[in-house]
Amino acid sequence: MLDPSAKTEYENWYQTILYLPKNPHTEPFLNRLPAYALKFAMVFCAMNDRRSLVINHQEMKEAVSLTFRFWEDLQRITQDELVFNNFQSQAKKTTDIIKSKGIIGQSELLRMMKNEATYQNKINQTLVESDQVIQIQLPSTGKKKKNAFATPEYAKINNLGV
């Protein structure tokens, strides 16, 4: 049970968390923040040993503060995209290389990644299908067209037909 000032503190805090940034890695935790705040408030109430089951304003204030600190720490931890397996790790590395160069030829990317060609092609295809990179055919001197990959931003700025 919450006393009126604790309830007001919780409701005001709850309104602010509705506008916190969401991403796939933190959204499940964000959805549980209100429950965590209430649980922390119960712990603070029990720690204070006031022989009351009513959560007061100070206990709620400490609980929402602690909950928000956990949220900030989680945001900091997940700033870099989480990678769960080798394919994702290689995809992230590929994306980072393309972002650093803006545009890169397929053969140069393959040399830099040091992956087997079919494996790297699967990574490239996945990145193209998820719109993280764009595949471009560059003009070449021979009969074979040269494939390259670029960031969507680079392609747009340089009018590469995307």
**Looking at the predicted structure, is the pLDDT value of residue 39 above 90?**
yes
Q: Annotate the chain with three-state secondary structure.
A: CECHHHHHHHHHHHHHHCCCCCCCCCHHHHHHHHHHHHHHHHHHHHHHCCCCCCECHHHHHHHHHHHHHHHHHHHHHCCCCCCCCHHHHHHHHHHHHHHHHCEEEHHHHHHHHCCCHHHHHHHHHHHHHCCCCEEEEECCCCCCCEEEEECHHHHHHCCCCC
CA gap 122, 110 in Å, rounded: 12
pTM exceeds 0.85, yes or no = no
CA gap 40, 46 in Å, rounded: 10
| Per-residue tokens: 123 | 């990574």
**Looking at the predicted structure, is the pLDDT value of residue 76 above 80?**
no
Within 13 A of 135's CA, how many CA atoms are on the CB side? Answer: 15
Q: Name residues whose C-beta falls within 8 Å of residue 143's C-beta, 6 or more positions apart in sequence.
A: none
86-157 fold: Arc Repressor Mutant, subunit A (1.10.10)
Instruction: Give the pLDDT mean for 110-137.
Output: 91
CA gap 21, 40 in Å, rounded: 22
**Looking at the predicted structure, is the pLDDT value of residue 121 above 70?**
yes
What is the pLDDT at residue 113? 92
Instruction: Give the pLDDT mean for 7-15.
Output: 92
Of 53 and 65, the structure prediction assigns the larger pLDDT to 65
How do the domains of the chain map onto residue ranges? 4-77, 86-157
What is the pLDDT at residue 65? 93
Of 29 and 99, the structure prediction assigns the larger pLDDT to 99
**Looking at the predicted structure, is the pLDDT value of residue 128 above 70?**
yes
| Per-residue tokens: 84 | 């769960």
The lowest-confidence range among 25-29, 81-85, 125-129 is 81-85
pLDDT band at 18; cut points 50, 70, 90: confident
